[in-house]
A = this chain, B = another copy of it.
Amino acid sequence: MNVGLIGTGVVGSGAVWIYQKNRAHWEAQSAETARLKAVCDLDFSRCPYDLTEFQRTHDWRSLLTDPEIEVVVELIGGEEPARTMIAESLQAGKHVVTANKMVLAKHGKALLDLAAENKVSLLFEAAVAGAIPVIAPMCSSLRPNQIQSVFGIVNGTTNFILTRMHQSDADFQDVLAEAQRLGYAEADPSSDIEGRDSLYKICLLAATAFHTQVSVEDVLVEGISAITAADIQWANKRGQVIKLVAMARWNDARMELRVHPVILEGSHPLAAVNDVYNAVFVRGDCCGDLLFCGRGAGGTPTASAVWADILALANRAAYRVAPLVPAGLFPKEEMVSSFRIRLRVTEQISLVAEACRVFAEHQVGILEVVRAGSGEDGELVIATTPTQEGIKSRLLEALALQPWVKEIAGVLRFGL
């Protein structure tokens, strides 16, 4: 089976490296195998490996007209021209393997339908959680199950930043700068830190687990840029950890999708997933809770998932993503979380009584009230019982109007 590769950046170069290193190894184990025939890029200078054994082209459409090529691998990222490349490849009767979470999250249903029409496969293990096998196992090993929820840490950049904040008590901006220096965060880190990367990935996990087509605009998404050193210190003192978590689950016959930071107890399995590691929990009605952990990013780990998809096609053993059908989406306003609300407050005797009155008026239960600091640094920290998003928003509006509230200093969900 001949393969054409578009994009020789970090992941594309990783794919070349794996091919040159391990081809003989996997050919020894299987009659049918895959040959990387052609590579395509506008500029091959980013790839540190010798490409002379491959056809090299600047014209991606030339891969589509080559009748020998059965698989097109799209590794350029971004929405366009990647979407067009994938669509035209499928229309040309080529299987497509991609790591492009954005295109799939936004256009997944149309592209999967196009693949089905043209009787080819569109595979995307590499688009979620790097080297960790999770799309294929959900389609194959977990098929006997009705999956109930999928959630976890699916963005390495934010996990690295949060890990460093916990270790150093440093502020978000300082740690972000360090992550950029180390190459763990991009020059424009907004997609990672605002949660959009996690959003795309949870859409793909939901599509695979539940065969649902969701619109990315409808998902509850909060990033980590508002998290302060004070939030981290509060968590550290209590043996807790703040993680950016993405979640998809059935709730009242509708799909609940959310991406936001959450405070976890130190004993929670996700609390130990640090640095650029990713971890995905899958809960099925027969298998119970399963946890898949590993490197969520990086050229070689991601390219390992790319080759897994190619070799599955070569061995005619590719997993299949069932057709996506529309699913009712659980409304953001009704999603329930427990919140920890930190208020900067003026000093007055009746502070706790005043706060309790406002919470009671909004029918928000209080789990814990702690008065911390004094004078200028006086704070009131209140943990709520499970509360709907809509009610929480109205509570915060009311709190902001109280004469004893100087500022709403932080609002974080806690527990999973």
Closest to A295 in B: B288
The distance from the CB of A18 to the nearest CB of chain B, in whole angstroms, is: 5
Number of interface residues of A (CB under 8 A): 54
- Beta-carbon contact of A22 and B285 below 8 Å: yes
Instruction: Tell me the number of copies of this protein.
Output: 2
Query: Does A29 sit within 8 A of B, measured CB to CB?
Result: yes
Tell me whether A286 and B303 are in contact in the complex, defined as CB-CB below 8 angstroms, given that A142-B133, A143-B26 are known contacts.
yes
- Beta-carbon contact of A294 and B287 below 8 Å: yes
Candidates B29, B286, B291, B294; contact of A288 at CB < 8 Å: B294
Candidates B25, B285, B303, B317; contact of A318 at CB < 8 Å: B317
- Beta-carbon contact of A290 and B288 below 8 Å: no
User: A144 vs B160: C-alpha distance in the bound complex, in angstroms?
Assistant: 27
Set of chain B residues within 8 Å of A322, measured between Cβ atoms: 29-30
User: A320 vs B294: C-alpha distance in the bound complex, in angstroms?
Assistant: 24
Query: Does A304 sit within 8 A of B, measured CB to CB?
Result: yes
- Beta-carbon contact of A288 and B308 below 8 Å: no
- Beta-carbon contact of A295 and B287 below 8 Å: yes
User: A19 vs B290: C-alpha distance in the bound complex, in angstroms?
Assistant: 21
Contact with B along A322-333 (1 / 0, CB 8 A): 100000000000
- Enumerate A252-302 residues with CB–CB distance to B below 8 Å: 267, 269, 272, 284-295, 298, 300-301
- Beta-carbon contact of B142 and A308 below 8 Å: yes
Query: Does A192 sit within 8 A of B, measured CB to CB?
Result: no
Task: Select the residue from A26, A304, A318, A319 with max chain B CB neighbours within 10 A.
Answer: A304
- Beta-carbon contact of B133 and A141 below 8 Å: yes
- Beta-carbon contact of A287 and B318 below 8 Å: no
The distance from the CB of A352 to the nearest CB of chain B, in whole angstroms, is: 37
Residues of A within 8 A of B (CB): 14, 18, 21-22, 25-26, 29-30, 125, 131-133, 136-137, 140-146, 211, 267, 269, 272, 284-295, 298, 300-301, 303-305, 307-308, 311-312, 315-320, 322
The 10 closest A-B pairs by CB, nearest first: A133-B141, A144-B307, A131-B287, A286-B304, A291-B293, A290-B294, A29-B322, A287-B304, A133-B137, A141-B308
